[in-house]
Amino acid sequence: KKKKKKNPQFTFIHLAGGPGSGKGTQCEKVVAKYGFTHLSSGDLLRAEVSSGSERGKQLAAIMEKGELVPLDTVLDMIKEAMIAKADTSKGFLIDGYPREVRQGEEFEKKIGAPSLLLYIDAKAETMVKRLMKRGETSGRTDDNEETIKKRLDLYYKATEPVIAFYEGRGIVRKIDSEGSVDQVFSQVAKAIDSLK
Ligand SMILES: Nc1nc2c(ncn2[C@@H]2O[C@H](COP(=O)(O)OP(=O)(O)O)[C@@H](O)[C@H]2O)c(=O)[nH]1
Ligand SMILES: Nc1ncnc2c1ncn2[C@@H]1O[C@H](COP(=O)(O)OP(=O)(O)O)[C@@H](O)[C@H]1O
Ligand SMILES: [Mg+2]
């Protein structure tokens, strides 16, 4: 059986980093400057939740506890969104995926190898502060003290190992996201320019 052809050589850039580290904010600026397609796993999931579907209800219950939704669900959603944009996309910013090593392995098997992993790094107390502030306007069920704590614990336990997994390949760029949005973005832009 002919080996299933992987997607044509698209540029995939993963953004990994704790909740509230600034992934979404940086993606908006990358899209404006480079024209990449921004796919946020969280946004795709919240769209499913707001559709009111049965699956959406199950996802909402998981997300409000700050736990990871099933791998296949989030991977299929990203893949579908990618296919829908494939003919016009300049490359994909995958924001919030992988959140555990096996997600990275599955992505590579089913979609393709990433060119860059931007590790958006902020201190725990900075992330808590930003999320509590975001919670004032985001209307998200997971931007509250209790769930933030769970999400941080899960980040350190499951997602930080993802960084080590890709470090070995030399495609990780650590971004200090303690500063202003622009200070963080100048590091992000330098990392992306290094791809050219
Ligand atoms: N002061 C400051 N706030 C930021 C920065 N980046 C993001 N924020 C804010 O912190 C919150 C979390 O940012 P977001 O991009 O949603 O982070 P994500 O959870 O990693 O996707 C939002 O309310 C942003 O406005 C930054 O570099 N400096
Ligand atoms: N890659 C993923 N695997 C499993 N669950 C995910 C993934 N991405 C997002 N989620 C779910 O959606 C929630 C919100 O994710 P996201 O919007 O990326 O958060 P933030 O922007 O605060 O980092 C996560 O806490 C988790 O419940
Ligand atoms: Mg986000």
Q: Is 151 annotated as a binding residue?
A: yes
Q: Is 187 annotated as a binding residue?
A: no
Q: What is the ipTM of this complex?
A: 0.97
- 5 DSSP 8-state letter: P
Q: For residue range 115-145, what is the model confidence (pLDDT) as tens digits?
A: 999 999 999 999 999 999 999 999 999 999 9
User: Is the Cβ atom of 184 under 6 angstroms away from ligand 1?
Assistant: yes
Phi, psi of 112 (to 5 degrees): 165, 170
Q: Tell me, what's the pLDDT at 196?
A: 82
- Global pTM reads 0.95
What single string gives the DSSP state of each residue in 123-156? -HHHHHHHHHHHHHHH--TT-SHHHHHHHHHHII
List the residue whose alpha carbon is closest to atom 9 of ligand 2: 42
